[in-house]
Structure 1
């Protein structure tokens, strides 16, 4: 018996006390795991919330979202997630590491999608010269400086070369978004910076990806023979992708045209193919970063599939991945190992920043000398191209994990990346300041524009519902002239979703948004306007523009576009729309604020169009048949003179019957009671007389040119005060489909007796007293109104509070 093994007792014979303890331990273990999981979920929510809060503060300093994400990631990574365990051993560190790896694969894939590799085979342009000189000079400076840094005992030539190329790189997605948000994307230097940044990012990332072939993704090393095998494998894979992926992508695009729902099986097949191709290289021990970048680079940029993938992946990255990624970075950047008292730490930080900055600036200065740039612009361009971002920090992370860089040096790289971002708004402010000093400050008005010369008009749109009205405005503004240039501009709000879909436009000269809803809306607008242009657009030159901005800054985008294209007239849609019963709805308050800010800051004359049926006219006819009765109200002042100048162009259209109605002060009436009530003429008597003299001269010229020639009807209204003015206006109800009036702000109308007191009960001060009356539902439900304000250099406009006028 002693030699036989004794079987353990059945579970039910075990002591109850001992039976209960394992259960209690299991319950406590499950409870502990659940508590730990909930703790990390709460931490993630706090991370996202903190990023939004800090971004709400830093965006007033024009800082991008990546800055608060880095700050929050470093703080939480060093405190909340670390606890008492080391980052390498903790489960959360492994989880964040896996998420970061997958996210960087997606990031590099989209980066490749946004680039066009065929530009490498085209003749070099100035963007290419700026990019290549910047890369080469920075690489040389970095190769000289990095060996003298105390990175790690295990640093070798391979990592020195990779880090040098990394410092030569430009974070083009971040640069593109910053330049777009800071409103210089349509300027020459903005386009040059974006294009050069794309070239620099493409070449540098391609070199880094090739260099990563020699870095093993597993712990054991690789031999030269294996490196040669992996290199050959990659070339074979690239060859097969070049032969197969474009054809496959074009087949998907051809079978899923724009405007229709994506075919489900095709979508699954496309995503599955992309995932399979991206996963091929990691199975062969090749870096997945390189493979995903090459895959995105080979897939054609155009087409629905590329736009959809870019849109969805960018949205995922910006909303969820980047905060998690920087938490992982924060866990690796253990500030307890950052020796602040060691001078080597600060020397490394300073030398890294100087190497990157000095290299880029010297490169752009050399390119500037060859291309004839001014040296301040060359330096500013170098500072813009020096921006570092997510991929640069990831390259430093690779070196840290491989032992080629210590933690202190890794923290230096993170800080250098932050420093290259925070100064960008200051550089942009310097560029804008220099441009404004060189710009001409003469007013852009219709009154002083030769009636026979070309008119450049910025026509803003909220959506497809504005298109019929916009077409009729284009038609009547063309009049009988052949020189109308229209910049049809879509006003799109820039929020977190649309910001995540910003992509490089065609020919590397523009930035656009890839959100499917916005793309579909813009195509619908473009198709409708183009149909009009094809049918009867003779004499009109059409350009499509995009004012992509937050509502608080959209006025800047509109004003910048108007200044860039030298527009003389901006037409904005009224913030209210007409309902089915004919009355106006409550409107969009944000668009109203944009209109009010544009009135204050516009570089040219501005018109606000209240549409109440103008778009219902199919199209104003071009022949002798009259299809639109219009009237221009003239009381006096610069805004009314501007309205008269615009009406002169409209009067030449054969499909428009125009009547000019002049309100004249009836001096025979008894106005003593009005004057006694405190109503008086604004300004000194001499100023009023001078303004009225200019009004008479302007009206006499209009009369001789249009009324006397029989092209325009004429009527006079003698009124003694504002009450009679309102009564006369109401008497015109139902007679005209379009009223053209001046806004008549302070200084915009001298003879204020005819409008005195109207400002006290204005519903929309941005329309002025006359425009507000004509636009009210009590006046008419069928008459559209175009309220015009003449451009002035002194932006002193009544009715626009400081709350709505902050730049």
Structure 2
């Protein structure tokens, strides 16, 4: 017993060795259920993680139909497991102190790791390159709401302690966190849209400014709670730490990267060293108290984004962090809720609510006015203001830290929780309603080869994924025969998967020559097309671009470039590639999905190029006979007429034998609309029949199998076949073939030609601009 007058003593019971891993369920059953595996640490942790994920995914399967992100499901899961819902007694029995500590530790580690990866993806140099509009939006989005929030407490009679507490609560209401905006734009799939790029640029400015205010506020709190000397020491430590990272570590990492061979993965030892440095950084910055998250974020910023190091680091760790550790953190934030009702009769709570409402309203207005002043469409401006006003897991983490540090009570924390869950629910739904990036691709003007005037420059967008696409596209353009009477402008777009970077990049290599050295992955593309331009100097102009973006959003880069350049044709590589012997080399379903999206949204005509290895350049001796044979299959309809228009541009090429194979139905009962289409087809064929450069052949067939038989008999004579896609067009010439189609994006005939191994003829499938 403690002596009288001494401090109270506390008895602590420890189980040694600690009960971590049970002997298993089967042994417990063999012992008649006497082995309580639930009393062991690891099985209990696994059970609760499983419960969290089951509830999260079940709720998300329901909420995602309303357009709500996974983040909301994770918060709701935490709320359902909180003492406010299941009761404090039940929560204490289920989530013992040991379980809560382990879950919180895992969640905090996951959040710190995610913050680190966001830093790795972010290029701090973006701040110096943002447009003036985005810079002012980002600047105003933080400063004006923060000043408004700070002024509110001074308009009312409050205790000095309450004023200081509201001062610490103001930055989260006013801040715009770059990770939150990045995740929101990714969820909405508008990351590389025009609105998405403006929002990202504005967010990086707001984020760095918000970090400055957060550090300032933290130093002020340290000065008030401890003393000024401690705050100054913390400031010196932070400055020294950041200086070391950017003046010593970052240059050192860049130097090491120069020794990594191009295209080769980073050595695993180097990745392990970076992760070890992350753990050391997390431990060191813990000494600074409130600055540990700032430390890992800045450490991530110090690592060069993109390939090779940033990409490898993100690819190897992001899945575990994003799908396991971070959801645990978000859920534990919800599990802190102790009351569902907020009592606004309390003066401080009501004033806090007023501060939050004023800050969010002012933030929305100051983010709305600059876009409207710059003549942005009203709906787009409102969508941008909503995006910049959104709250997410970064703010939730700040509120959780304030709650754990006893700076705010459960009422204030509950109110903040509702603020986050409300904005994170409403903003995505509203933005989806207001902003549709494909709306600008509507076909108000004819952008097709057929609509292009004769002897005018034909604008083409050619897409490149892999080196093999370069030779295939160049050879096709060579067949198309640029000349003074057939001028061409080719906009080459090299599509690169976004990896290890947060912001999509779109580079014009005409405006920024220095990018050739900085982005070597496009160097071969630029050199190859520059040489090709020299062959047809005066008849062909080439502009090269590089788009680094997520694969599911690349269609927006393609369609935007085609829209900006007033292109008449987009050339897309097929997703399947073959060896020279005809066997399949590779298939990329991501490219196939991309092609389908471009076909659906394109502002002009689209051609899918299937290279079977023999689209070689038709360079032969001028005195010899042409050896390159191109066949055009014509059945009728808009797509086939577009093919004829392209064939007319090929016809003057004396190095190419061009043939048009016209398949007609033996018997037809045409309605009025079909008669009109047939009349237009005949007008298009009139020039073909009288053109001395084109061999015209007509075949009367009764059904699809007969068409297939004729094509199979002649396909070996051609190096390239050009056909129309003819989507949703039924005709007797193709009857019975649709059921066997493997690739609907190629149409019936395109799919038929790809499936034929005879002659391994390359194919170009053309779809005319969709104007409806």
Q: Give the TM-score of the pair, scaled to structure 2.
A: 0.80
Q: Distance in 1 between matches of 2:156 and 2:507?
A: 37
Q: Partner of 2:133 in structure 1? A: 126
Q: Distance in 2 between matches of 1:256 and 1:307?
A: 14
Residues 277 and 781 of structure 1: CA distance in aligned 2, closer, same or farther (over 3 Å): same
Say what the alpha-carbon RMSD is for the aligned residues: 4.5
User: Post-superposition shift, 1:736?
Assistant: 0.4
Residues 421 and 566 of structure 1: CA distance in aligned 2, closer, same or farther (over 3 Å): farther
Q: Partner of 2:227 in structure 1? A: 223
Q: Partner of 2:337 in structure 1? A: 333
Paired residues of 2:572 and 2:606 also in contact (CA < 8 A): yes
User: Post-superposition shift, 1:183?
Assistant: 4.0
User: Post-superposition shift, 1:455?
Assistant: 3.7
Moved more, 415-424 or 31-40: 31-40
SS where residue 424 of structure 1 aligns?
Answer: helix
Residues 229 and 429 of structure 1: CA distance in aligned 2, closer, same or farther (over 3 Å): closer
User: Post-superposition shift, 1:758?
Assistant: 5.0
Paired residues of 1:456 and 1:485 also in contact (CA < 8 A): yes
Equivalent residue in structure 2 for 1:736, among 713, 718, 722: 718
1:165 aligns with 2:140: no
Q: Partner of 2:642 in structure 1? A: 642
Q: Distance in 2 between matches of 1:769 and 1:508?
A: 37
Q: Partner of 1:777 in structure 2? A: 756
Moved more, 83-92 or 767-776: 83-92
Aligned residues: 723
What does 1:239-638 align with in structure 2 at a 5 Å threshold? 239-283=243-287, 285=289, 287-301=291-305, 304-334=308-338, 337-339=339-341, 351=354, 354-368=357-371, 371-373=374-376, 376-432=379-435, 436=439, 441-459=444-462, 466=469, 468-477=471-480, 479-480=482-483, 481-488=486-493, 490=495, 503-505=502-504, 526=522, 528-538=524-534, 539-545=541-547, 548=550, 563=563, 566-574=566-574, 577-578=577-578, 582=582, 599-614=599-614, 617=616, 619=617, 621=619, 628-638=628-638
SS where residue 203 of structure 1 aligns?
Answer: helix
1:41 aligns with 2:43: no
Equivalent residue in structure 2 for 1:192, among 189, 193, 198: 198
Q: Partner of 1:135 in structure 2? A: 142
Q: Partner of 1:717 in structure 2? A: 698
Paired residues of 2:342 and 2:411 also in contact (CA < 8 A): no
Paired residues of 2:71 and 2:330 also in contact (CA < 8 A): no
User: Post-superposition shift, 1:164?
Assistant: 1.4
Q: Distance in 2 between matches of 1:213 and 1:129?
A: 27
Residues 144 and 742 of structure 1: CA distance in aligned 2, closer, same or farther (over 3 Å): same
Residues 547 and 275 of structure 1: CA distance in aligned 2, closer, same or farther (over 3 Å): closer
Q: Distance in 1 between matches of 2:651 and 2:123?
A: 49
Paired residues of 2:632 and 2:721 also in contact (CA < 8 A): yes
> Can you list the C-alpha shifts for 1:600-636, whole angstroms capped at 9, x where unaligned?
5543323333433346x4x554985856321112333
SS where residue 793 of structure 1 aligns?
Answer: coil
Residues 736 and 71 of structure 1: CA distance in aligned 2, closer, same or farther (over 3 Å): same
Paired residues of 1:356 and 1:386 also in contact (CA < 8 A): no
User: Post-superposition shift, 1:776?
Assistant: 3.3
User: Post-superposition shift, 1:739?
Assistant: 0.8
Paired residues of 1:62 and 1:182 also in contact (CA < 8 A): no
Q: Distance in 2 between matches of 1:173 and 1:202?
A: 12
User: Post-superposition shift, 1:221?
Assistant: 5.0
User: Post-superposition shift, 1:740?
Assistant: 0.8
> Can you list the C-alpha shifts for 1:488-525, whole angstroms capped at 9, x where unaligned?
46497x9xxx7xx551245999xxxxxxxxxxxxx897
Q: Partner of 2:764 in structure 1? A: 786
User: Post-superposition shift, 1:731?
Assistant: 3.4
Equivalent residue in structure 1 for 2:80, among 58, 75, 97: 75
Paired residues of 1:43 and 1:80 also in contact (CA < 8 A): no
Q: Distance in 2 between matches of 1:71 and 1:487?
A: 47
Residues 363 and 463 of structure 1: CA distance in aligned 2, closer, same or farther (over 3 Å): same
Paired residues of 2:443 and 2:603 also in contact (CA < 8 A): no
Q: Partner of 2:181 in structure 1? A: 175
User: Post-superposition shift, 1:382?
Assistant: 1.5
User: Post-superposition shift, 1:130?
Assistant: 0.7
User: Post-superposition shift, 1:269?
Assistant: 4.2
Paired residues of 1:100 and 1:328 also in contact (CA < 8 A): yes
Q: Distance in 2 between matches of 1:93 and 1:266?
A: 34
Paired residues of 1:629 and 1:736 also in contact (CA < 8 A): yes
> Can you list the C-alpha shifts for 1:766-788, whole angstroms capped at 9, x where unaligned?
5445444433327x241122222
Paired residues of 2:438 and 2:601 also in contact (CA < 8 A): no
Q: Partner of 1:94 in structure 2? A: 101
> Can you list the C-alpha shifts for 1:103-160, whole angstroms capped at 9, x where unaligned?
343333334444455566679721110111111221123224468999x999544443
Q: Distance in 2 between matches of 1:342 and 1:441?
A: 54
Residues 255 and 467 of structure 1: CA distance in aligned 2, closer, same or farther (over 3 Å): same
Q: Distance in 1 between matches of 2:40 and 2:342?
A: 36
> Can you list the C-alpha shifts for 1:329-370, whole angstroms capped at 9, x where unaligned?
123122xx2325766699679646533431212212443465
User: Post-superposition shift, 1:277?
Assistant: 4.4
Residues 464 and 69 of structure 1: CA distance in aligned 2, closer, same or farther (over 3 Å): farther
User: Post-superposition shift, 1:565?
Assistant: 5.7
SS where residue 398 of structure 2 aligns?
Answer: helix
Q: Distance in 2 between matches of 1:657 and 1:302?
A: 47
Q: Distance in 2 between matches of 1:155 and 1:459?
A: 64
Q: Distance in 2 between matches of 1:35 and 1:225?
A: 46
Paired residues of 1:742 and 1:789 also in contact (CA < 8 A): yes
Q: Distance in 1 between matches of 2:419 and 2:649?
A: 58
| Structure 2 gap ranges (5+) | 1-15, 23-27, 29-33, 509-518, 535-540
Q: Distance in 1 between matches of 2:190 and 2:621?
A: 43
Q: Distance in 1 between matches of 2:95 and 2:707?
A: 81
Moved more, 233-242 or 160-169: 233-242
Residues 255 and 155 of structure 1: CA distance in aligned 2, closer, same or farther (over 3 Å): farther
Residues 507 and 714 of structure 1: CA distance in aligned 2, closer, same or farther (over 3 Å): closer
Residues 90 and 348 of structure 1: CA distance in aligned 2, closer, same or farther (over 3 Å): farther
User: Post-superposition shift, 1:377?
Assistant: 3.8
User: Post-superposition shift, 1:735?
Assistant: 0.8
Residues 391 and 627 of structure 1: CA distance in aligned 2, closer, same or farther (over 3 Å): farther
> Can you list the C-alpha shifts for 1:691-729, whole angstroms capped at 9, x where unaligned?
33322332334566xx33xxx331322425346644543
User: Post-superposition shift, 1:325?
Assistant: 0.3
Residues 230 and 181 of structure 1: CA distance in aligned 2, closer, same or farther (over 3 Å): closer
Equivalent residue in structure 2 for 1:681, among 656, 664, 669: 669
Residues 250 and 731 of structure 1: CA distance in aligned 2, closer, same or farther (over 3 Å): closer
Q: Distance in 1 between matches of 2:98 and 2:160?
A: 27
Residues 777 and 34 of structure 1: CA distance in aligned 2, closer, same or farther (over 3 Å): farther
| Structure 1 gap ranges (5+) | 1-21, 510-522, 666-670, 795-807
Q: Distance in 1 between matches of 2:597 and 2:371?
A: 37
